[in-house]
Amino acid sequence: MTLKMDVVGVLGAGQMGRGIAISCLLAGYKTFLYDTQSEVLKSSLQKIEISLNRLCEKNLISKEQITEVLVHLVLCSDLPPLKEANILIEAVPEDYAIKERLFKELSDLLTPSVILASNTSSLSITQLAKFTPYPEKFIGLHFMNPAEIMPLVEIIPGGQTHQSTLETTKLFSESLGKTAVISKDTPGFIVNRLLIPMINEAIDALHLGIATAVDIDKAMKLGANFPQGPLALADMIGLDTCLAILKIMEKECGDPKYTPSPLLAQYVNEGKLGRKTTEGFYKYSLKP
């Protein structure tokens, strides 16, 4: 099977949308980055440039590449330009209602030849597909954070996803330099099904006074050979995202083991969401 696509549309210019857009740009795709708010798009362009410069500092790309890839980035606050895309990747907040509204707005733009993929980290692909006109062309494509660095993507077929959609999505993922794993459409898929409960346990350990945040993270780094402690990782993911995933898993699995730690809910209510707000379990000097 040959991959026939050269234009990608990314819906949502937040942290994940930016990372996905960078991955597509570096792979040579013309990339549309859509968001309803022009100020968010303006800020996203600045952050994309910062991320590309960081990759350059690490000798992962050259200065020339930065200039080359930015030529292929198109920012848009209207949907019609996305008609040009061969694949659309949705990266808006983890909320059925928000995604349903977006997919219905997209309905007139979609055709049977366009793949619509969701970067959801926990919501049902089969359920989301009900909001689209072509469920056979809908699929889950979950990038890890930061998307431009992490080599893994999870691909999740829904109940009506065609085999050709799965195969094309896998080829597309590989064209980005990613390794794909296939998951059943189940809450949390593979990575978050294992990772988020572990992070929740670490938060509960802090809540119960078992150890400090520093010592919890140090214990897992030196005792389990983790590259990063679970609390620092939670800050990077976003504590609001961790909380949302746990709530979805608790509801859809009906298992109290996924009940969020009270401390996690407290931090989110206080606006301490991790790196993106400069404070979570640790304090950060600058917003990423």
The H or E element that residue 236 is part of is: helix 230-237
CA distances from 24 to 18, 73, 126, 202, 241 (A): 10, 10, 26, 34, 23
Task: Quote the pLDDT of residue 2.
Answer: 67
Where, residue-wise, is CATH 3.40.50.720 in the chain? 7-182
Query: Above 80 in pLDDT, residue 262?
Result: yes
Q: pTM for this structure?
A: 0.91
Nearest to 143 by CA among 284, 1, 12, 276: 12
Residues recognised as catalytic: 121, 142, 154, 192
Task: Quote the pLDDT of residue 149.
Answer: 95
- Beta-sheet strand order (sheet of 87-90): 73-76, 30-34, 7-11, 87-90, 115-118, 138-143, 152-157, 179-182
Share of residues in the chain with pLDDT > 90 (%): 93
Q: What is the mean pLDDT of the chain?
A: 95
Query: Which fold would CATH assign to domain 7-182?
Result: Rossmann fold (3.40.50)
Burial of residue 17 (CB within 10 Å: 0-12, 13-18, 19+) is: buried
Beta strands 138-143; 152-157: pairing state: antiparallel
6-47 per-position pLDDT tens digit = 999 999 999 999 999 999 999 999 999 999 999 999 999 999
Lowest mean pLDDT among 49-53, 146-150, 283-287: 283-287
Nearest to 87 by CA among 58, 118, 123: 118
Where, residue-wise, is CATH 1.10.1040.10 in the chain? 192-277
DSSP 274: B
| pLDDT bracket for residue 4 (50, 70, 90) | confident
- Look at domain 192-277 and name its CATH class: mainly alpha
Task: Quote the pLDDT of residue 3.
Answer: 80
| pLDDT bracket for residue 288 (50, 70, 90) | very low
| pLDDT bracket for residue 286 (50, 70, 90) | low
Mean pLDDT over 197-210 rounds to: 98
64-97 per-position pLDDT tens digit = 999 999 999 999 999 999 999 999 999 999 899 9
